[in-house]
Structure 1
Amino acid sequence: MKKVILSGIFALCSIGIFAQTNTNNLPSTAQDYIQQNFSSANVKEVKENSKWQIWEDEKFEVILSNGLELDLDENGNIIEIESQNDTVIPMSALPSKIVSYIEENYTDAQVIGWEKQKKEQEIELADGTELEFDGEANFRKID
């Protein structure tokens, strides 16, 4: 019985050690980006994807307490922001050219998703509208 109790205590302690929310393993670029744009939310979890997954661009996945999930490349550059519960993404977290387009054409719109690929960027608005931009954030079309 003693062994079972000790094993249980050890298991709980080890879970606490491996499920840390420490951002120290993130590149400074990522740490700065999170602090500047999401300072009101706490980091719940940081996952580092292994190097053998070469088909994925994302190296780090950061889950915030407000329901946003950030995907970053190996240099700490943001490549995707996804809302798990329709949490609005702060405009400060988006490229300024895209923000200007949204403010001019979609007054009071709320952004709940953004993804950057090599040659395009996509925005998802809370009303379901999807906007497509090129790599330099020039508007292409409504998707």
Structure 2
Amino acid sequence: MKNVKKITGAFILFFMLIGGFVSAQDRAISASQLPKAAKTFLTVHFKGIPVSSAIEDREIYGIDDYKVYLNNGMKIEFDSNGNWKEADGKHQKLPYGFIPASIRNYTARNFPNTYIVKIEKERWSYKTELSNGLELEFDRKGNFKRIDD
């Protein structure tokens, strides 16, 4: 009897996990279906660069994030509310309007012949990648912390 309960419990757990993976999936959407904050961000900072595709990443509990691919190859990720999380220029210079001034100033002053090609906004920090491949980490206020290897 104990073995039957264990096997039944294992099957229930297995099917719950499978159900979670099946319901958590990406879905292609049009740019007009993005949250208003994401659409405004794209209009202001990537004006004139058309969206080639947008993906809505759905999890069991709802929408996790959005991934937007631009015609020039750049990728921008937004959270479920449309706030930017990451911008990847794919080795192209990112527009600097949304990057905190302290990060822009630090990189311009200390790495004058480079530009930012990627930036990630994390809970307590920012991570940037420069055109020379160097990765820099900043605190939430944009103060330099370290060079990341």
Sort the TM-score into its range (normalised by shorter chain).
0.7 to 0.9
In the alignment, is the contact (CA less than 8 A) between 2:128 and 2:136 conserved in 1?
yes
Residue 110 of structure 1 deviates from its aligned partner by 1.4
Instruction: Give the distance between the partners of 1:19 and 1:79, measured in 2 at CA.
Output: 19
Structure 1 position 63, deviation (Å): 0.2
Q: Kindly report the root-mean-square deviation, in angstroms, between the aligned alpha carbons of the 2 structures.
A: 2.1
Give the distance between the partners of 1:52 and 1:113, measured in 2 at CA. Answer: 29
Deviates more, 1:108-117 or 1:45-54: 45-54
Structure number with larger C-alpha Rg = 2
Q: Find 2:40's aligned residue among 12, 32, 41.
A: 32
Q: Does 1:136 align with 2:141?
A: yes
Residue 89 of structure 2 is aligned to residue 83 of structure 1: yes
Which blocks of at least 5 consecutive residues in structure 2 are unaligned?
A: 1-26
C-alpha displacement of 1:96: 2.0
Identity %: 29
Which of 87, 96, 112 is 1:107 aligned to? 112
What is the TM-score with the length of structure 1 in the denominator? 0.77
Structure-2 residue corresponding to 1:121? 126
* Structure 2 Cα separation of the partners of residues 90 and 106 of structure 1: 17
- Where has structure 1 moved over 4 Å in runs of 4 or more? none
Counterparts of 1:139 and 1:76, CA distance in 2 = 26
- Among candidates 64, 72, 89, match of residue 78 of structure 2: 72
Letter matched to residue 109 of structure 2 = E
Q: Greater strand percent: which structure? A: 2
Quote the Cα distance in structure 2 between the aligned partners of 1:73 and 1:44: 19
Aligned-partner residue type, residue 31 of structure 1? K
Contact 2:107 2:115 survives alignment (8 Å): no
| Contact 2:28–2:56 (8 Å) recurs in 1 | no
- Letter of the 1:101 partner, please give it: Y
Count the aligned residue pairs. 122
C-alpha separation between the residues in 2 aligned to 1:94 and 1:43?
Answer: 21
Question: In structure 1, how many angstroms separate the alpha carbons of the residues matched to 2:64 and 2:100?
Answer: 19
Indicate whether 1:43 and 2:51 are aligned. yes
